[in-house]
Structure 1
Amino acid sequence: MLNERLEEILEAIWVAREKKQSSLAAIRENCAIQFSGSELKALERNKMVLLNGDEVHFTHEGEKLGKVIIRRHRLAEVLVTSILKVKKHKMHEIACEFEHSLQAEVEESICTLLGHPEVCPDGKSIPPGVCCKNNSTRVENTVTSLIELSPGEQGRITYVKPGSHSNLHQLLSFGLSPGVTVTVHRTSPAFCVKFENTELALDPEIAKNIFVWKTSCLLK
Protein backbone atom coordinates (compact mmCIF):
# COMPACT_ATOMS: atom_id res chain seq x y z
CA MET A 1 0.00 0.00 0.00
CA LEU A 2 1.38 3.40 -0.98
CA ASN A 3 1.27 6.42 1.31
CA GLU A 4 -0.72 9.53 0.42
CA ARG A 5 2.32 11.41 -0.94
CA LEU A 6 3.14 8.65 -3.42
CA GLU A 7 -0.51 8.54 -4.49
CA GLU A 8 -0.36 12.30 -5.15
CA ILE A 9 2.61 11.74 -7.46
CA LEU A 10 0.74 9.02 -9.38
CA GLU A 11 -2.18 11.42 -9.75
CA ALA A 12 0.15 14.07 -11.17
CA ILE A 13 1.63 11.57 -13.64
CA TRP A 14 -1.91 10.78 -14.83
CA VAL A 15 -2.82 14.47 -15.24
CA ALA A 16 0.43 15.20 -17.11
CA ARG A 17 -0.21 12.23 -19.40
CA GLU A 18 -3.66 13.61 -20.24
CA LYS A 19 -1.78 16.65 -21.54
CA LYS A 20 0.52 14.31 -23.50
CA GLN A 21 3.42 15.15 -21.21
CA SER A 22 5.71 12.80 -19.33
CA SER A 23 8.66 14.94 -18.26
CA LEU A 24 9.58 15.28 -14.61
CA ALA A 25 9.04 19.05 -14.88
CA ALA A 26 5.48 18.54 -16.17
CA ILE A 27 4.72 16.11 -13.38
CA ARG A 28 6.02 18.51 -10.74
CA GLU A 29 3.91 21.27 -12.28
CA ASN A 30 0.77 19.15 -11.97
CA CYS A 31 1.47 17.77 -8.49
CA ALA A 32 -0.20 19.13 -5.36
CA ILE A 33 2.97 18.49 -3.32
CA GLN A 34 6.69 19.10 -3.65
CA PHE A 35 8.20 15.64 -3.96
CA SER A 36 11.75 14.32 -3.85
CA GLY A 37 13.74 12.07 -6.14
CA SER A 38 13.75 9.42 -3.42
CA GLU A 39 9.94 9.31 -3.56
CA LEU A 40 10.08 8.71 -7.31
CA LYS A 41 12.56 5.92 -6.64
CA ALA A 42 10.12 4.47 -4.10
CA LEU A 43 7.46 4.34 -6.82
CA GLU A 44 9.96 2.62 -9.10
CA ARG A 45 10.78 0.04 -6.40
CA ASN A 46 7.07 -0.60 -5.97
CA LYS A 47 6.87 -1.23 -9.74
CA MET A 48 4.50 1.70 -10.23
CA VAL A 49 6.64 3.73 -12.65
CA LEU A 50 9.54 3.45 -15.07
CA LEU A 51 12.19 6.18 -14.88
CA ASN A 52 14.05 6.96 -18.11
CA GLY A 53 16.23 10.03 -17.72
CA ASP A 54 13.85 12.98 -17.38
CA GLU A 55 10.84 10.89 -18.44
CA VAL A 56 8.44 9.15 -16.06
CA HIS A 57 6.03 6.52 -17.33
CA PHE A 58 3.46 4.23 -15.70
CA THR A 59 3.94 0.51 -15.46
CA HIS A 60 0.78 -1.55 -15.99
CA GLU A 61 0.19 -1.72 -12.23
CA GLY A 62 0.95 1.97 -11.81
CA GLU A 63 -1.57 2.89 -14.48
CA LYS A 64 -4.25 0.76 -12.80
CA LEU A 65 -3.68 2.44 -9.46
CA GLY A 66 -3.42 5.90 -11.05
CA LYS A 67 -6.81 5.35 -12.65
CA VAL A 68 -8.35 4.47 -9.28
CA ILE A 69 -6.82 7.53 -7.61
CA ILE A 70 -7.89 10.01 -10.31
CA ARG A 71 -11.39 8.48 -10.43
CA ARG A 72 -11.85 8.90 -6.69
CA HIS A 73 -10.52 12.44 -6.75
CA ARG A 74 -12.85 13.55 -9.54
CA LEU A 75 -15.86 11.77 -8.07
CA ALA A 76 -15.11 13.60 -4.82
CA GLU A 77 -15.05 16.89 -6.73
CA VAL A 78 -18.52 16.18 -8.16
CA LEU A 79 -19.80 15.15 -4.72
CA VAL A 80 -18.53 18.17 -2.81
CA THR A 81 -19.73 20.69 -5.41
CA SER A 82 -23.07 19.24 -6.48
CA ILE A 83 -24.32 17.59 -3.28
CA LEU A 84 -22.40 19.23 -0.44
CA LYS A 85 -22.43 22.65 -2.17
CA VAL A 86 -18.80 23.39 -1.37
CA LYS A 87 -17.38 26.49 -3.06
CA LYS A 88 -15.50 25.61 -6.23
CA HIS A 89 -12.26 27.21 -5.05
CA LYS A 90 -12.24 24.76 -2.11
CA MET A 91 -13.19 21.78 -4.28
CA HIS A 92 -9.69 20.53 -5.13
CA GLU A 93 -8.36 20.80 -1.57
CA ILE A 94 -11.25 18.84 -0.06
CA ALA A 95 -11.24 16.25 -2.85
CA CYS A 96 -7.50 15.66 -2.25
CA GLU A 97 -8.20 14.76 1.37
CA PHE A 98 -11.26 12.71 0.49
CA GLU A 99 -9.73 10.52 -2.22
CA HIS A 100 -7.20 8.80 0.03
CA SER A 101 -9.81 7.47 2.48
CA LEU A 102 -12.49 6.47 -0.01
CA GLN A 103 -13.14 2.72 0.13
CA ALA A 104 -13.99 0.83 -3.07
CA GLU A 105 -17.58 0.03 -2.08
CA VAL A 106 -18.18 3.61 -0.95
CA GLU A 107 -16.72 4.91 -4.21
CA GLU A 108 -19.16 2.81 -6.27
CA SER A 109 -22.11 3.88 -4.14
CA ILE A 110 -21.20 7.55 -4.52
CA CYS A 111 -20.80 7.12 -8.27
CA THR A 112 -24.21 5.44 -8.49
CA LEU A 113 -25.84 8.15 -6.38
CA LEU A 114 -24.35 10.79 -8.68
CA GLY A 115 -25.64 9.01 -11.78
CA HIS A 116 -22.22 7.82 -13.02
CA PRO A 117 -20.80 11.23 -14.00
CA GLU A 118 -18.39 11.19 -16.94
CA VAL A 119 -16.68 14.51 -16.20
CA CYS A 120 -15.73 16.47 -13.09
CA PRO A 121 -16.68 20.15 -12.54
CA ASP A 122 -13.54 21.22 -14.44
CA GLY A 123 -14.63 19.19 -17.47
CA LYS A 124 -11.96 16.52 -17.02
CA SER A 125 -12.82 12.90 -17.76
CA ILE A 126 -13.73 10.55 -14.89
CA PRO A 127 -12.51 7.00 -15.63
CA PRO A 128 -15.48 4.59 -15.49
CA GLY A 129 -15.75 1.97 -12.77
CA VAL A 130 -17.44 -1.42 -12.62
CA CYS A 131 -20.69 0.23 -11.51
CA CYS A 132 -20.65 2.44 -14.63
CA LYS A 133 -20.13 -0.51 -16.97
CA ASN A 134 -22.97 -2.38 -15.24
CA ASN A 135 -25.12 0.79 -15.34
CA SER A 136 -26.00 0.34 -11.68
CA THR A 137 -28.98 2.39 -10.52
CA ARG A 138 -29.34 1.08 -6.99
CA VAL A 139 -26.99 1.58 -4.06
CA GLU A 140 -26.67 -1.79 -2.33
CA ASN A 141 -24.55 -0.67 0.60
CA THR A 142 -26.24 1.46 3.23
CA VAL A 143 -25.44 2.94 6.61
CA THR A 144 -27.57 1.32 9.27
CA SER A 145 -27.61 0.63 12.98
CA LEU A 146 -25.58 -2.44 13.96
CA ILE A 147 -28.63 -3.83 15.75
CA GLU A 148 -30.40 -4.13 12.36
CA LEU A 149 -27.88 -6.65 11.00
CA SER A 150 -28.65 -10.36 11.04
CA PRO A 151 -26.24 -13.13 12.04
CA GLY A 152 -23.54 -13.44 9.38
CA GLU A 153 -23.97 -9.90 8.06
CA GLN A 154 -20.99 -7.61 8.05
CA GLY A 155 -20.43 -3.87 8.18
CA ARG A 156 -17.69 -1.27 8.57
CA ILE A 157 -18.23 1.13 11.49
CA THR A 158 -18.83 4.66 10.19
CA TYR A 159 -19.67 6.43 13.45
CA VAL A 160 -20.75 5.79 17.03
CA LYS A 161 -23.50 7.70 18.81
CA PRO A 162 -23.32 6.39 22.39
CA GLY A 163 -25.84 7.17 25.09
CA SER A 164 -23.03 8.47 27.27
CA HIS A 165 -19.35 9.39 26.98
CA SER A 166 -18.46 6.44 29.19
CA ASN A 167 -20.00 4.08 26.62
CA LEU A 168 -17.92 5.68 23.87
CA HIS A 169 -14.68 5.26 25.82
CA GLN A 170 -15.61 1.67 26.61
CA LEU A 171 -16.20 0.86 22.93
CA LEU A 172 -12.92 2.48 21.94
CA SER A 173 -11.08 0.49 24.59
CA PHE A 174 -12.53 -2.70 23.08
CA GLY A 175 -11.30 -1.63 19.63
CA LEU A 176 -14.72 -0.78 18.20
CA SER A 177 -13.92 2.45 16.39
CA PRO A 178 -14.76 3.95 12.97
CA GLY A 179 -13.16 1.95 10.16
CA VAL A 180 -13.31 -1.42 11.96
CA THR A 181 -15.24 -4.17 10.16
CA VAL A 182 -17.58 -6.22 12.37
CA THR A 183 -19.58 -9.36 11.72
CA VAL A 184 -22.73 -10.17 13.69
CA HIS A 185 -22.16 -13.61 15.22
CA ARG A 186 -25.55 -14.03 16.87
CA THR A 187 -28.44 -11.92 18.13
CA SER A 188 -29.79 -14.18 20.90
CA PRO A 189 -29.63 -14.98 23.69
CA ALA A 190 -27.06 -12.15 23.55
CA PHE A 191 -26.07 -9.78 20.73
CA CYS A 192 -22.51 -10.81 19.82
CA VAL A 193 -20.13 -9.49 17.19
CA LYS A 194 -16.76 -10.61 15.89
CA PHE A 195 -13.96 -8.28 14.77
CA GLU A 196 -10.19 -8.59 14.47
CA ASN A 197 -10.08 -12.04 16.13
CA THR A 198 -12.25 -10.80 19.00
CA GLU A 199 -15.78 -11.83 19.97
CA LEU A 200 -17.76 -9.36 22.07
CA ALA A 201 -21.24 -9.34 23.59
CA LEU A 202 -22.91 -5.94 23.37
CA ASP A 203 -25.82 -4.44 25.21
CA PRO A 204 -28.58 -3.97 22.57
CA GLU A 205 -28.91 -0.30 23.52
CA ILE A 206 -25.22 0.22 22.73
CA ALA A 207 -25.48 -1.77 19.47
CA LYS A 208 -28.31 0.56 18.38
CA ASN A 209 -25.92 3.50 18.58
CA ILE A 210 -23.18 1.93 16.45
CA PHE A 211 -23.73 2.74 12.78
CA VAL A 212 -22.09 0.67 10.07
CA TRP A 213 -21.74 0.69 6.32
CA LYS A 214 -23.29 -2.67 5.45
CA THR A 215 -20.85 -4.50 3.20
CA SER A 216 -21.85 -8.13 2.86
CA CYS A 217 -23.81 -11.13 4.05
CA LEU A 218 -21.51 -14.03 4.90
CA LEU A 219 -24.13 -16.62 5.71
CA LYS A 220 -26.89 -17.73 3.36
Structure 2
Amino acid sequence: MLREFYGPFDEMCSEAQEKSERVSRSLLERPTGEMCPTCAEEGNESPLVIRIGRNGEFIGCSTFPACKHTSNIRVETGVKCPETGGELLERKKQGRNRPFYGCESFGFLLRGPRLELLRRILCDLLEPHVERLRRHQVIQFHLRDAGASARDLRMLLQQRLDSAADEAPAVALLFSCLGRGEGLYGVAGHDSGMIVEHLGELPIGGFFCGGEIGPVQGRTRVHGFTSSIALLRAP
Protein backbone atom coordinates (compact mmCIF):
# COMPACT_ATOMS: atom_id res chain seq x y z
CA MET A 1 0.00 0.00 0.00
CA LEU A 2 2.84 2.38 0.84
CA ARG A 3 4.52 1.68 -2.50
CA GLU A 4 1.28 2.33 -4.35
CA PHE A 5 1.06 5.74 -2.72
CA TYR A 6 4.70 6.79 -2.65
CA GLY A 7 5.59 5.91 -6.26
CA PRO A 8 3.06 8.25 -7.94
CA PHE A 9 3.55 10.84 -5.20
CA ASP A 10 7.30 10.96 -5.78
CA GLU A 11 6.74 11.38 -9.52
CA MET A 12 4.30 14.25 -8.91
CA CYS A 13 6.80 16.00 -6.64
CA SER A 14 9.58 15.65 -9.21
CA GLU A 15 7.34 16.95 -11.98
CA ALA A 16 6.23 19.92 -9.88
CA GLN A 17 9.82 20.75 -9.02
CA GLU A 18 10.80 20.77 -12.69
CA LYS A 19 7.79 22.56 -14.17
CA SER A 20 6.53 24.88 -11.45
CA GLU A 21 7.35 28.55 -11.79
CA ARG A 22 9.91 29.77 -9.30
CA VAL A 23 8.85 32.55 -6.97
CA SER A 24 11.29 35.44 -7.07
CA ARG A 25 12.96 36.08 -3.73
CA SER A 26 12.27 39.79 -4.15
CA LEU A 27 8.51 39.10 -3.96
CA LEU A 28 8.98 37.68 -0.47
CA GLU A 29 10.95 40.69 0.78
CA ARG A 30 9.77 44.06 2.07
CA PRO A 31 12.01 47.15 2.13
CA THR A 32 12.81 48.79 5.47
CA GLY A 33 13.96 52.13 4.12
CA GLU A 34 17.35 51.70 5.81
CA MET A 35 20.78 50.83 4.46
CA CYS A 36 22.95 47.89 5.50
CA PRO A 37 25.59 49.09 8.01
CA THR A 38 27.93 46.22 7.14
CA CYS A 39 27.97 47.13 3.46
CA ALA A 40 28.28 50.82 4.34
CA GLU A 41 31.57 50.10 6.13
CA GLU A 42 32.90 48.79 2.81
CA GLY A 43 31.61 51.78 0.85
CA ASN A 44 28.62 49.98 -0.68
CA GLU A 45 24.96 51.02 -0.65
CA SER A 46 22.70 48.02 0.02
CA PRO A 47 19.12 48.34 1.28
CA LEU A 48 17.93 46.30 4.24
CA VAL A 49 14.83 44.16 3.68
CA ILE A 50 12.45 42.14 5.84
CA ARG A 51 12.64 38.41 5.16
CA ILE A 52 10.88 35.33 6.47
CA GLY A 53 12.98 32.62 8.09
CA ARG A 54 12.20 29.47 9.97
CA ASN A 55 11.82 31.50 13.17
CA GLY A 56 9.67 34.23 11.62
CA GLU A 57 10.49 37.61 10.11
CA PHE A 58 13.91 39.22 10.41
CA ILE A 59 15.92 42.01 8.79
CA GLY A 60 18.69 41.12 6.38
CA CYS A 61 20.81 42.64 3.65
CA SER A 62 19.32 42.63 0.16
CA THR A 63 22.63 41.38 -1.28
CA PHE A 64 22.51 38.06 0.60
CA PRO A 65 24.43 35.74 0.30
CA ALA A 66 27.19 38.23 -0.55
CA CYS A 67 26.45 40.00 2.75
CA LYS A 68 25.12 38.02 5.69
CA HIS A 69 24.16 40.96 7.93
CA THR A 70 20.98 40.25 9.92
CA SER A 71 19.14 41.86 12.82
CA ASN A 72 15.93 41.33 14.72
CA ILE A 73 12.78 43.32 14.08
CA ARG A 74 12.06 45.67 16.97
CA VAL A 75 8.65 44.78 18.44
CA GLU A 76 7.71 47.20 21.21
CA THR A 77 5.21 46.28 23.92
CA GLY A 78 4.45 49.75 25.28
CA VAL A 79 5.57 48.59 28.74
CA LYS A 80 8.56 50.05 30.59
CA CYS A 81 11.26 47.91 32.20
CA PRO A 82 10.94 48.14 36.02
CA GLU A 83 14.74 48.18 36.41
CA THR A 84 15.94 50.60 33.73
CA GLY A 85 12.82 52.42 32.55
CA GLY A 86 13.61 51.32 29.01
CA GLU A 87 11.17 49.75 26.58
CA LEU A 88 10.27 46.09 27.00
CA LEU A 89 10.62 44.32 23.65
CA GLU A 90 9.22 41.08 22.33
CA ARG A 91 12.12 38.79 21.50
CA LYS A 92 12.68 35.27 20.24
CA LYS A 93 15.45 32.85 21.04
CA GLN A 94 17.20 31.29 18.10
CA GLY A 95 15.58 27.99 17.22
CA ARG A 96 12.41 28.74 19.20
CA ASN A 97 9.19 30.27 17.94
CA ARG A 98 7.84 31.09 21.38
CA PRO A 99 8.49 34.77 22.22
CA PHE A 100 9.75 36.20 25.49
CA TYR A 101 10.05 39.77 26.73
CA GLY A 102 13.22 41.61 27.61
CA CYS A 103 14.53 45.12 28.15
CA GLU A 104 15.92 47.05 25.18
CA SER A 105 19.04 47.60 27.30
CA PHE A 106 19.69 43.86 27.53
CA GLY A 107 23.42 43.29 27.21
CA PHE A 108 24.22 46.92 28.01
CA LEU A 109 23.28 47.17 31.68
CA LEU A 110 26.13 48.62 33.69
CA ARG A 111 26.68 46.39 36.67
CA GLY A 112 29.69 45.00 38.46
CA PRO A 113 32.77 44.80 36.18
CA ARG A 114 31.10 46.78 33.39
CA LEU A 115 30.31 49.66 35.70
CA GLU A 116 33.86 49.68 37.04
CA LEU A 117 35.26 49.59 33.50
CA LEU A 118 33.10 52.55 32.50
CA ARG A 119 34.23 54.46 35.60
CA ARG A 120 37.89 53.95 34.68
CA ILE A 121 37.31 54.95 31.05
CA LEU A 122 35.52 58.14 32.09
CA CYS A 123 38.27 59.00 34.54
CA ASP A 124 40.90 58.62 31.82
CA LEU A 125 38.86 60.73 29.40
CA LEU A 126 38.10 63.52 31.84
CA GLU A 127 41.41 63.75 33.69
CA PRO A 128 43.01 66.23 31.22
CA HIS A 129 39.95 68.49 31.54
CA VAL A 130 39.20 68.16 35.23
CA GLU A 131 40.21 71.76 36.02
CA ARG A 132 37.61 73.08 33.57
CA LEU A 133 34.74 70.96 34.90
CA ARG A 134 32.19 72.40 37.28
CA ARG A 135 30.26 70.54 39.93
CA HIS A 136 26.95 69.15 38.56
CA GLN A 137 27.96 70.13 35.02
CA VAL A 138 26.24 68.11 32.28
CA ILE A 139 28.68 66.18 30.08
CA GLN A 140 27.65 64.60 26.79
CA PHE A 141 29.17 61.49 25.22
CA HIS A 142 28.29 60.61 21.65
CA LEU A 143 28.20 57.17 20.07
CA ARG A 144 27.91 57.17 16.29
CA ASP A 145 25.36 54.50 15.41
CA ALA A 146 23.78 54.75 11.96
CA GLY A 147 20.94 52.34 12.74
CA ALA A 148 19.90 54.00 16.01
CA SER A 149 20.21 57.46 14.46
CA ALA A 150 17.98 56.52 11.52
CA ARG A 151 15.37 55.00 13.84
CA ASP A 152 15.30 58.12 16.01
CA LEU A 153 14.81 60.42 13.03
CA ARG A 154 12.13 58.17 11.58
CA MET A 155 10.30 58.10 14.93
CA LEU A 156 10.39 61.90 15.33
CA LEU A 157 9.17 62.52 11.79
CA GLN A 158 6.36 60.01 12.26
CA GLN A 159 5.35 61.71 15.51
CA ARG A 160 5.24 65.04 13.68
CA LEU A 161 3.14 63.48 10.92
CA ASP A 162 0.70 61.91 13.40
CA SER A 163 0.31 65.04 15.53
CA ALA A 164 -0.21 67.51 12.68
CA ALA A 165 -1.56 65.51 9.77
CA ASP A 166 -3.68 68.43 8.52
CA GLU A 167 -0.87 71.00 8.70
CA ALA A 168 1.51 70.11 5.91
CA PRO A 169 4.76 72.12 6.02
CA ALA A 170 5.61 74.30 3.03
CA VAL A 171 9.38 74.42 3.56
CA ALA A 172 11.92 72.50 5.65
CA LEU A 173 15.25 73.79 6.97
CA LEU A 174 17.79 71.06 7.73
CA PHE A 175 21.05 71.58 9.62
CA SER A 176 23.10 68.39 9.94
CA CYS A 177 26.36 67.63 11.67
CA LEU A 178 29.44 67.01 9.55
CA GLY A 179 29.65 63.63 11.27
CA ARG A 180 26.43 62.49 9.63
CA GLY A 181 25.71 62.30 5.91
CA GLU A 182 27.38 59.77 3.67
CA GLY A 183 30.18 59.14 6.14
CA LEU A 184 27.73 57.75 8.70
CA TYR A 185 24.96 56.22 6.60
CA GLY A 186 26.90 55.21 3.51
CA VAL A 187 24.43 57.07 1.29
CA ALA A 188 24.14 60.74 0.35
CA GLY A 189 21.04 62.73 1.31
CA HIS A 190 19.90 60.34 4.04
CA ASP A 191 18.23 62.91 6.34
CA SER A 192 16.65 64.97 3.56
CA GLY A 193 15.42 61.78 1.90
CA MET A 194 13.75 60.68 5.12
CA ILE A 195 12.01 64.06 5.42
CA VAL A 196 10.58 63.65 1.92
CA GLU A 197 9.60 60.06 2.69
CA HIS A 198 7.49 61.09 5.69
CA LEU A 199 6.33 64.61 4.80
CA GLY A 200 6.20 64.48 1.00
CA GLU A 201 7.96 66.50 -1.65
CA LEU A 202 8.80 69.97 -0.35
CA PRO A 203 11.67 72.46 -0.71
CA ILE A 204 14.52 71.72 1.72
CA GLY A 205 17.35 74.13 2.48
CA GLY A 206 20.22 74.01 4.93
CA PHE A 207 23.84 73.06 5.37
CA PHE A 208 26.26 70.88 7.33
CA CYS A 209 27.47 72.22 10.68
CA GLY A 210 30.08 71.69 13.35
CA GLY A 211 27.38 71.73 16.04
CA GLU A 212 23.61 72.04 16.04
CA ILE A 213 21.30 73.99 18.33
CA GLY A 214 18.11 72.35 19.53
CA PRO A 215 15.85 71.98 22.58
CA VAL A 216 16.18 69.16 25.12
CA GLN A 217 13.70 69.00 28.01
CA GLY A 218 12.72 72.63 27.56
CA ARG A 219 16.27 74.00 27.34
CA THR A 220 18.25 74.98 24.25
CA ARG A 221 21.57 73.17 23.91
CA VAL A 222 24.38 72.69 21.43
CA HIS A 223 24.59 69.14 20.11
CA GLY A 224 26.93 67.01 18.04
CA PHE A 225 26.22 64.29 15.45
CA THR A 226 22.62 65.52 15.22
CA SER A 227 20.23 67.08 12.73
CA SER A 228 18.08 70.08 13.59
CA ILE A 229 14.97 70.42 11.43
CA ALA A 230 12.65 73.43 11.21
CA LEU A 231 9.31 72.95 9.45
CA LEU A 232 7.65 76.12 8.17
CA ARG A 233 3.99 76.40 7.20
CA ALA A 234 2.60 78.72 4.56
CA PRO A 235 0.97 81.89 6.00
Given the two structures, how large is their TM-score scaled by the length of structure 2?
Answer: 0.20
Return the TM-score normalized by structure 1: 0.21
Judging by fraction of residues, say which structure has more strand: 2
Q: Which structure has more helix as a fraction of its residues?
A: 1
